[in-house]
DNA sequence: GACTAACCGAGACGGTACGTCCCGTCTTAAG
DNA sequence: CTTAAGACGGGACGTACCGTCTCGGTTAGTC
């Protein structure tokens, strides 16, 4: 869905200057834009979301404060775009036919993301998302949506192929694995590497 | 001066006015203490954690700032105690013998807490806990620990009584229900009232 | 490159569009030039010198900032020209033969200028002149020089004709009247209309 | 005049905190106060009035900006007090009986002030006073009032003693000398040392 | 008629200072 | 010794202008 047509005019991209059509005046610097996003991500990882300051990001990016305020109305909006620009790690396409093995592999990759470099980012970010709906949505988009869609599909296939019972609550099962990992991450309880295996064994027996 | 005796026991023990040795001088005002905690909770619900300021709480509680700093070393510590003082709703003791019914009831009560008045508090609070370990622990204690312990016990009994297979991963299963509810809350996806039922049906089939 | 010829005469000579050598390209807009000067004077009267901003003048004149910076190197230079373009009120040529009557008339006209519309301008301007020598000189030229020269001449004639004693300190006497008016204006003490008469009576008795 | 009664409660002194009676809270630091005034005078002499910045003064005085804003609502008010705290040079009490000699001496001392260290201060200051009535008044008080009062008295005595004609316009004559000096200073024309003598000779012949 | 060079408006650029708010500490008089 | 009040030095906020720098689009004079 989504539809291509909605993308014909990308004028609503967060950082589009005003809204008009004819562009006049000096165009916004693409390099400054990127430098700001980079600086923001850098600072986010280093100091956490609460440690972010506009002045800090500006000086890190060697940019005037106004250049930031011109583009984003608030810190969360900036962080949203910074995260959006962050390359989402390509997920390995897994479809071996074995639902359990595939799911375990997806969970494994998610767990690696969480314990790896992006984990800090997710944690720093997560702290804020309950406060800012747009942050939550972006978080969803960047870190969650893709994976959940795949898992849901995976499980649906498992049901179709008879590997899982027809009575399976697809949505719930697809959610469970991530929910547990997220629960552990956000309570900072141990994210032991055998979790994916245990999850698969327990819930897809 | 100062006196050694006053150092026998760390004088800054959070909010422990009547320390070991005999105190002299004006005793700390109990009413101020409570007013601060109330003001903090009030502000927490109204503005979220990020909107809290010591000055705001002080003026809300009609108290000097020093009166706060004298008792707590930092905002999180204050919030921890404010939350701690928040009456944790008594959980109905459920042990009907039917594991599935009991678990569903516990989840039901948890869901009600989340969608009810405390939900806001949990959300506001959760946003911060990843940043402050002591907050996380307190959150755990106030909102999670008791319930999880009971659920774990419940499930263990179910395994013992043969209602659940011996191969059950007790810890994981006890965690799953809350994890899903929490996942929904923190991503602000719909916390539909049939979730407890669906969870029990799917995972304790 | 650049061309030596273009440097023969300082290209930045204040507001000298048609410099020495043959110019090519679009000529500077005369209407923009005038709009800027008008806007500057307008703003000067409205907000005082300290309230002037290049951006404000530019937008008032519906002109780009660069169009201003292309012509003047600094705010004072712009103001100097704005004032210069300001029509200096024609002085009535007075030479009735009666030194006292003539001087009184000149002072009267000066006083009227000061209390009238130009007074604001003088005051706004005067505030700055001690800081910017070129402003001071322009002020001198526009508001003072002509009148002082005439008065000096008047008094010299008076001495020559015997109406004033031969021992008269012409320079000092010519200065005194204006000095008193200026003193009053700049201390904002009352500029009462009988001052010229009193001055003449006291100092040209 | 003035009256002692009006000084019973000096609460209106420019930097009096709010307006109430009972003083509570930490009192304002006298040393910070003085450091700010000193820094302001220093900066005023060094950079001129236009070069003053609150941040600059604050850092020069090693003081937080708020400590300045708490005391003065605006830069001019601060400068007014800084100048007020500046020791006004003691005027030599002159009353030899010879009006001309006395006046010349007063003018001489004024001229010395203007050409000396305080001259810079006066000039820097004068530039601003036409814009800010309170500055003007303070300027008047610090640099002008005392001297003018004495001169007026001097001349009045001269009239009484018959040294000056009974028809003398005391106010005007008292004003003339200073007006000329000020005129010269503010137009930055030469303040030659023989001016007092010339003035006395011309106007008190 | 095409080219060229300087102009035009608009507005973004890296900066600096503004005046406000809050931090966590301190210093008072009053209890 | 605590209390309410509030000043302290510090630092970030978001805004307004500074003087400079691109943009796309005129507007002459010269080839």
CA distance A163 to chain B (A): 15
Evaluate if the CB of C57 falls below 7 Å from strand E: no
**What is the pLDDT, as a whole number, of residue C88?**
64
**What is the pLDDT, as a whole number, of residue B51?**
84
Evaluate if the CB of C60 falls below 7 Å from strand E: no
**Euclidean distance between CA atoms D10 and A166, whole angstroms:** 89
pLDDT tens digits along B70-99: 999 888 889 888 877 776 666 666 778 899
Q: How many Cβ atoms sit within 10 Å of the Cβ of residue A174?
A: 22
With an 8 Å Cβ cutoff, are D198 and C126 in contact? no
Percent of chain C past pLDDT 90, that is, above it, reads: 46
The more confident residue out of B130 and A164 is A164
Distance between terminal CA atoms of chain B? Answer: 69
- Among protein residues, the one whose C-alpha sits closest to the C1' atom of F30 is C24
Listed ranges A49-53, C16-20, C170-174; the one with the highest mean pLDDT: C170-174
Name the least confident of B14-18, B100-104, C111-115: B14-18
Evaluate if the CB of D50 falls below 7 Å from strand F: no
The band of B1, judged by pLDDT with boundaries at 50, 70 and 90, is very low
**What is the pLDDT, as a whole number, of residue D19?**
46
Name the least confident of A123-127, C81-85, D72-76: A123-127
Q: Is the pLDDT of residue C185 over 80?
A: yes
Taking every pair of Cα atoms in chain C, the longest distance, rounded to a whole number of angstroms, is: 70
With an 8 Å Cβ cutoff, are A131 and B176 in contact? no
pLDDT tens digits along A129-172: 666 666 777 777 777 788 888 899 999 999 999 999 999 999 99
**What is the pLDDT, as a whole number, of residue B102?**
92
pLDDT tens digits along C26-66: 999 999 999 999 999 999 888 888 789 999 999 999 999 99
Q: How many Cβ atoms sit within 10 Å of the Cβ of residue D7?
A: 10
**Euclidean distance between CA atoms D187 and D126, whole angstroms:** 12
Give the pLDDT mean for A113-120: 77
- Among protein residues, the one whose C-alpha sits closest to the C1' atom of E29 is D24
Evaluate if the CB of B3 falls below 7 Å from strand F: yes
The answer to whether the predicted template modeling score (pTM) of the entire model surpasses 0.95 is: no
**What is the pLDDT, as a whole number, of residue C55?**
97
**What is the pLDDT, as a whole number, of residue C36?**
97
**What is the pLDDT, as a whole number, of residue B83?**
79
**What is the pLDDT, as a whole number, of residue D175?**
92
**What is the pLDDT, as a whole number, of residue A89?**
61
pLDDT tens digits along D67-124: 999 999 988 889 888 887 776 666 666 778 899 999 999 999 889 888 876 776 776 6
Q: Is the pLDDT of residue B161 over 60?
A: yes
Torsion from C-alpha of C112, C116, C122, C124, nearest 10 degrees: 150
Torsional class of C2: left (φ above 0), alpha (ψ -120 to 50), beta (otherwise): left
pLDDT tens digits along D36-83: 999 999 998 888 888 899 999 999 999 999 999 999 998 888 988 888
Give the pLDDT mean for B103-129: 79
Neighboring chain A residues of B199 at a CB cutoff of 8 Å: 172
**Euclidean distance between CA atoms C160 and C123, whole angstroms:** 36
SS3 B74: coil
Evaluate if the CB of B34 falls below 7 Å from strand F: no
Q: Is the pLDDT of residue C131 over 80?
A: no
Q: Is the pLDDT of residue B5 over 50?
A: no
- Among protein residues, the one whose C-alpha sits closest to the C1' atom of F27 is C26
Evaluate if the CB of A75 falls below 7 Å from strand F: yes
Q: Which of C10, D104, B45, B172 is nearest to A195 (CA)?
A: B172
The band of C1, judged by pLDDT with boundaries at 50, 70 and 90, is very low
Mean pLDDT for chain C overall: 82
Mean pLDDT for chain B overall: 81
Encoding tokens for residue B96?
A: 């009907």
Beta strands in chain A (DSSP E): none
pLDDT tens digits along D179-203: 999 888 877 788 899 999 999 999 9
Sign of CA dihedral A110, A115, A116, A117: positive
Q: Is the pLDDT of residue C128 over 70?
A: no
**What is the pLDDT, as a whole number, of residue B114?**
85
Distance between terminal CA atoms of chain D? Answer: 35
pLDDT tens digits along B33-45: 999 999 998 888 8
What number of CA atoms fall less than 13 Å from residue C145's CA on the CB side? 8
Q: Is the pLDDT of residue A18 over 50?
A: no
Which H or E element spans position A173? helix A170-187
Q: CA(A67)–C1'(E13) in Å?
A: 8
Cβ–Cβ < 8 Å for D39, D57: yes
Name the least confident of A25-29, A146-150, B165-169, D132-136: D132-136
Complete DSSP assignment for B106-120: HHHHHHHHHHSHHHH
With an 8 Å Cβ cutoff, are B128 and A127 in contact? yes
Q: Is the pLDDT of residue A5 over 60?
A: no
CA distance A152 to chain B (A): 15
Give the pLDDT mean for B103-122: 83
Of the residues D76, D147, D180, the best mutation for testing chain C's interface (the one with the most C CB atoms within 10 Å of its CB) is: D180
Q: Is the pLDDT of residue D166 over 90?
A: yes
Give the pLDDT mean for B101-122: 84
Query: What phi and psi, each to the nearest 5 degrees, are found at residue B8?
Result: -50, -45
Q: Is the pLDDT of residue B109 over 60?
A: yes
Q: Which of A81, A33, A77, A76 is nearest to A58 (CA)?
A: A33
Q: Is the pLDDT of residue C2 over 60?
A: no
Residues in chain A: 205
Which nucleotide has the shortest C1'-to-CA distance from A64?
Answer: E14
**What is the pLDDT, as a whole number, of residue D124?**
65
Name the least confident of A45-49, A177-181, B99-103: A45-49
Of the residues D176, D198, D205, the best mutation for testing chain C's interface (the one with the most C CB atoms within 10 Å of its CB) is: D176
**Euclidean distance between CA atoms C57 and C69, whole angstroms:** 12
**Euclidean distance between CA atoms A138 and A145, whole angstroms:** 10
**What is the pLDDT, as a whole number, of residue D176?**
94
The more confident residue out of C28 and C83 is C28
**Euclidean distance between CA atoms C103 and C96, whole angstroms:** 10
Q: CA(A32)–C1'(E13) in Å?
A: 9
């Amino acid at each position: 869905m989504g539809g291509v047509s909605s993308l014909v005019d990308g004028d609503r991209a967060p950082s589009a200057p005003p809204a008009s059509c004819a562009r006049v005046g000096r165009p916004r610097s693409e390099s400054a834009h990127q430098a700001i996003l980079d600086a923001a991500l850098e600072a986010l990882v280093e100091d956490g979301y609460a440690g972010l300051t506009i002045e800090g990001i500006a000086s890190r990016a060697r940019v005037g404060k106004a250049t930031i305020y011109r583009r984003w109305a608030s810190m969360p909006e900036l962080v949203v775009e910074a995260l959006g620009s962050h390359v989402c790690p390509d997920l390995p396409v897994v479809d071996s036919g074995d639902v359990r093995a595939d799911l375990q592999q997806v969970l494994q990759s998610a767990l690696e993301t969480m314990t790896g470099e992006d984990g800090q980012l997710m944690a720093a970010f997560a702290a804020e998302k309950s406060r800012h709906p747009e942050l939550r949505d972006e978080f969803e988009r960047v870190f969650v949506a893709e994976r959940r869609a795949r898992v849901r599909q995976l499980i649906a296939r498992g049901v179709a192929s008879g590997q899982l019972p027809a009575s399976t609550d697809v949505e719930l099962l697809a959610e469970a694995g991530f929910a547990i990992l997220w629960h552990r991450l956000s309570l900072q309880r141990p994210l032991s590497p055998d979790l994916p295996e245990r999850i698969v064994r327990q819930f897809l027996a």
